[in-house]
A and B are shown apart, each in its own frame.
Chain A
Amino acid sequence: MTADTLDATEIHARRKASKPKTLGWGNPVVYFVALLFVAVMISPVLYIVVGGFRTNSQITTDPAGWPHPWVGRNYLDVLTNGVFWRSFLNSSIAALVTTAGVVALGLMVSFVLARYSFRGRGALYTLFAAGLMFPMAVAITPLFILIRTMHLMNNLVGIILPGIAFALPVTVIILVPFLRAIPYEIQEAAEIDGCSRLGFFFRMVVPLSVPGVITVGILAFIGSWNNYMLPLYVLNNQSSQTLPLSVQTFASGPYSADTAKILAFTSLAMLPALGFFSLFERRIVGGLTGAVKG
């Protein structure tokens, strides 16, 4: 066994050693095409961010121009605007509570699915996995009635609970293989040391699953932060709106002629999700591919 691992590391090291030779700047054509691709993907985002630094008269006279001069007033106006901060706060609360709920409930049910054998386990897993096939659009009309019956209209709880429910399928699909991969030896060692399965869950599984939890947590956070349809149905008055809704209200309401300010508002609304994403890019990409392979 030691010989095997030695062999493997040796090969690995050799491959590593030969790498610097191949890791050059590569084919310029590849870079050119990649650059073009990136430019197409990024330019609409840049248009929003840069457009926020122009004035309305600049935008009318030359819609495709560069800011001249750059004006910060639009951004300042939005940042001193109560509507922006209230929706920002609403979005933050909804996203954080949804994330916490998804992680807590998802971790527990995934642990049961990964570590216990009982009749109906397959059915339970299928129940959650099938949820992937039916996004919110199918359920939204009766969901709206349900939430209204529960008196949760215009209440963040009314988007948090369904938000948790709709994020559970992805969470379960990512976490079950993750928890199943924790070696049984650890569990047996814990049992010998007098640890119950629940004790094992809280003392070993929870700390060991932090990387998986971060992945599903980020997915849940961004999903909740960007969700549009559910808040559209549930949050009608402006004081309870989340950012995607208030961005739209802002763009179609009394400010609809103030293009520059709409652009500033819009770009500030997308910043948190972008920031979050760039911090955890590796985790998100890893989580998505993990979900597909699982």
Chain B
Amino acid sequence: MTDSTREHAPVVVTSPVNLSKDGGSAAALPPSGLARRRGRGAGWAARLEIAAMSAPAVVIFVTFVVLPVFLAAYYGFFRWKGYGKPTDFIGLHNYVIIFQDPLFMGALKHNMEILVLSLVMQGPVAIAFALLLNKKMRGQSLIRVLIFVPYVISEAVAGIGWSLLLGGQGAFNALMRDMHLNFLDKDWLSNPRLALWTLMIILTWKYIGYATILFLAGLQGIPEELNEAAAIDGASYWQVQRRITLPLLGPTVRIWAFLSIIGSLQLFDLVYIIWGQYVASTAGTSTMATYMNQNGRVSGNFGYGSAVAVVMFLISLVIALTYQRFVLRRDTDGALTGGGKTR
């Protein structure tokens, strides 16, 4: 609140200057306001405004988001320790090493497993909870706040909490022993056969509230008239959900899945915090990002680390574009007909 009001102060101070500067030219170009609608080229003043108002954001965005991606592509061709100019050009050698390194292939496999398991574990449960909570009931807003809490707290806090909770002498195992569920007293974090599933449980805990809230909002955007009409026509609750609600929720689900896929491919924080930089690969939870961190920054091989970043970028790009094409096709078909086809 305070920062948004603070934000207004300097803005108001500069406005008279801009006003007087623009006032003269606006008189010379009376239809400037309507030109926008006709899609005609903008006048000088308008061009200046466009440039002045978009430049700061574009400069910062290009410098810190776009440029690094291109720099990574450039550095990736060098053997480079990160100091001075990269001179030791080695062509595609870094990429050859990446794809021959079983540790990278292991990390890639973990990413793919996490990607699929996230969709499978979070999607159906979140939809079920959203349907369950999509009723007019007391305490709904409180429930919404509470299930969203894990999403809001930082990965660092969540990671430390979970590693203390699930450690060998942690509270979870003690609780299971107290309840005589001894088969659940396990080495959750370091057993390579369990660690990935532990990670999946933590990820589900962290992000399922977000999915549920998204779906709930999607459900509440469906006009009540449709449900009423179906009910009048004699449809049961389940028929309404299956034939009307779920198909109409389709676009929301597909966008959630897209965000989840991108998140799975870039996963770093939780793995790094819980498993650290060395344990992750032996526990079977390493990801491309933790591999990049260890073999790039930590070992000081910035050329190699950049090449890993490029590989991550390309994999994400290919998957994202493929998925978008798929989503576009589905959504141009229309959610209702799409639902009809699955019958």
Contact = CB atoms under 8 A, between A and B. Distances in A.
Q: Do A and B come from one complex?
A: yes
B86 to A, nearest CB: 10
A208 interface: no
Contact of B54 (A112, A139, A146): A112
A17 interface: no
Interface string A192-218: 001111110111001000100110010
B262 A197 contact: no
A19 B53 contact: no
A244 B155 contact: yes
Interface in B282-332: 289, 292, 296-297, 302, 305-306, 308-309, 312-313, 316-317, 320
Contacts of B69: 134, 138-139, 142
Contact of A228 (B22, B68, B155): B155
B78 to A, nearest CB: 12
A59 to B, nearest CB: 8
Interface string A91-128: 00000100111011110110111011111000010011
Interface in A175-194: 187-188, 191, 194
Given A133-B262, A134-B69, A168-B57, A247 B156 contact: yes
Contact of A44 (B22, B165, B255, B308): B165
Nearest to B307: A141
B161 A44 contact: yes
A162 interface: yes
Interface residues on A, range: 35 or more
Contacts of A274: 149, 152-153
A48 interface: yes
B174 A117 contact: no
Nearest to B67: A146
A34 B135 CA distance: 12
A292 interface: yes
Interface stretch (B35-43, B102-110, B187-195, B334-342): B35-43
A251 B6 CA distance: 36
Contact of B22 (A112, A166, A197, A225): A197
B68 A142 contact: yes
B199 interface: no
Given A138-B69, A138-B313, A289 B217 contact: yes
B interface bracket (residues with beta carbon within 8 Å of A):
35 or more
Interface in A122-156: 124, 127-128, 131-146, 148
A197 B22 CA distance: 8
Interface in A18-68: 19, 22-27, 30-31, 33-34, 37-38, 40-42, 44-45, 47-48, 51, 60, 62-64
Contacts of A161: 60, 63-64
A198 B22 contact: yes
A95 to B, nearest CB: 9
A214 B37 CA distance: 29
A38 B157 contact: no
A191 to B, nearest CB: 5
Contacts of A78: none
A141 B309 contact: yes
Contact of A288 (B33, B58, B210): B210
Contact of A142 (B75, B135, B147, B209): B75
A265 B218 CA distance: 37
B3 A196 contact: no
Contacts of A194: 23
A213 B2 CA distance: 12
Residue from B137, B175, B255 whose CB has the most chain A CB atoms within 10 Å:
B137
A112 B143 contact: no
A229 interface: yes
A263 B19 CA distance: 55
A154 to B, nearest CB: 15
A222 B148 CA distance: 13
A247 B155 CA distance: 11
Contact of A198 (B39, B49, B170, B273): B49
Contacts of B44: none
Contacts of A99: 3
Interface of B: 1, 3-4, 6-8, 11-12, 14-15, 18-19, 22-23, 26, 32-33, 35-42, 45-47, 49-50, 53-54, 56-58, 60-61, 63-69, 71-72, 75, 82, 129, 132-133, 135-138, 141, 143-150, 152-162, 164-165, 169-175, 178, 205, 209-210, 213-214, 217-218, 221, 252, 255-256, 262-263, 266, 268-269, 272-273, 289, 292, 296-297, 302, 305-306, 308-309, 312-313, 316-317, 320
15 contacts: A26-B137, A41-B150, A44-B158, A63-B171, A118-B47, A141-B305, A142-B67, A146-B71, A164-B64, A199-B15, A228-B272, A229-B268, A273-B154, A284-B152, A288-B217
The 9 A-B pairs of least Cβ separation, nearest first, read A226-B154, A244-B156, A165-B64, A289-B217, A142-B71, A109-B57, A139-B68, A63-B174, A64-B175
